[in-house]
Structure 1
Amino acid sequence: MPQFCSAYSCLNLRTVDVRDRGITFHKFPKDKERRKRWEIALRRDGFTASDSSVLCSEHFKTEDFDKTGQIVRLRADVMPSIFSFPVHLQRVGALLKVH
């Protein structure tokens, strides 16, 4: 079964072509509290991550990754923070900065 990124409107699918572009996929944390924080960060109404749910690397900052080994890993306790939300999901504070 193909693995799509769980982020709102992200179309990245775990394929060889996507991997060749340098995009990596990361499972949701097993820790229930951290997993819940990730789910809230996605702003997807009613979304609950499964054990196979993933987010792609495009939703994390460069400094969130540990690239010292052969496998790209997320550093401990990082939060996904890069999203392209539609207007109705943007925070009021973020909208005020635009004007």
Structure 2
Amino acid sequence: MSGGKACGVAVCRNSYYTTRDKEEAVSYFRFPKDPKLRKLWVSACRRKDSINPETSCVCSDHFYPEDFVRDMRVELGFAKRKKRLRPGSVPSRRLILNKGLTNEQPTKPCTEGCAGADDDNFYPPSAFADKPTSDLSSASASNQSQEDYETLLVEHQRLKEEFDEFKKVASLEIKKLKLKLRRKNKHTDGRTRTILEKPFDNTIDLLPKLKKAQKDWNCVCHSLS
């Protein structure tokens, strides 16, 4: 991401220069190309001035952990961290100032292309709206149960996919370790054979000399007798 790029959310002061040295990396995402989803992003930024979705970005501080795709290779330390958004994710976190805080001058949205922002993190739109303020107790128990059931099904599928990905990554890493171990053992066996065979090679080379010396000694003894 090039210098000067800033988050488009009105109350956010994050930019590349202010977050590049943070211990926890802050990622910047381009606005989605889907018109409906893009409109939700623009609304979530809550800016009084205009914002250009073609060149603006939103930082990762405005998404919840469940909005990001889990990467088992990253979590196991086998790959570098790169945040990716789930399908239909919309900024919904830290969009307004906390009560009692002054509204400092917000950062300006990107006026140029947000280089380095991830184009692969955007998908078809999903429903997005502020939390309803009406009393939810009037909802029927059957509808609530159905919603809970569907939520559990989605969560079950998500956990199954993560488990399958974990097994795949673990299997791949185990194969790599076994291959390294075989290569190391092969190298060690070769060195061991070399060390053990060298003294015997020297002994074999000495045998003809020993036989000649024995023959010469026998001749001398025979001459003296």
TM-score (norm 2): 0.35
Which residue of structure 1 aligns with residue 25 of structure 2? 22
CA radius of gyration, larger in? 2
The structure whose residues are more often strand, as a share, is 1
Aligned pair partner of 1:82 in 93, 114, 138? 93
Within 5 A, what are the aligned runs for 1:1-99? 2-15=4-17, 16-18=20-22, 20-68=23-71, 70=80, 71-86=82-97
Counting matched residue pairs gives: 89
- CA deviation after TM superposition for structure 1 residue 48, in Å: 2.9
For 2:41 and 2:95, the matched residues in 1 are separated by 15
- Give the alignment's Cα RMSD to 1 decimal: 2.4
For 1:50 and 1:41, the matched residues in 2 are separated by 12
Which residue of structure 2 aligns with residue 97 of structure 1? none
Equivalent residues of 1:28, 1:54 under 8 A apart: yes
Q: Which amino acid aligns with 1:38?
A: W
Stretches of structure 1 that go unaligned for 5 or more consecutive residues are 95-99
Equivalent residues of 1:39, 1:47 under 8 A apart: no
Q: Which amino acid aligns with 2:67?
A: D
The structure whose residues are more often helix, as a share, is 2
For 2:38 and 2:50, the matched residues in 1 are separated by 12
Question: Identity of aligned pairs, percent?
Answer: 30
For 1:31 and 1:83, the matched residues in 2 are separated by 23
Stretches of structure 2 that go unaligned for 5 or more consecutive residues are 75-79, 100-129, 134-225
TM-score (norm 1): 0.73
Equivalent residues of 1:28, 1:49 under 8 A apart: no
Q: Which has the higher contact order (CA 8 A, sep 6+)?
A: 1
After the TM superposition, which parts of structure 1 deviate over 3 Å for at least 4 consecutive aligned residues?
Answer: none
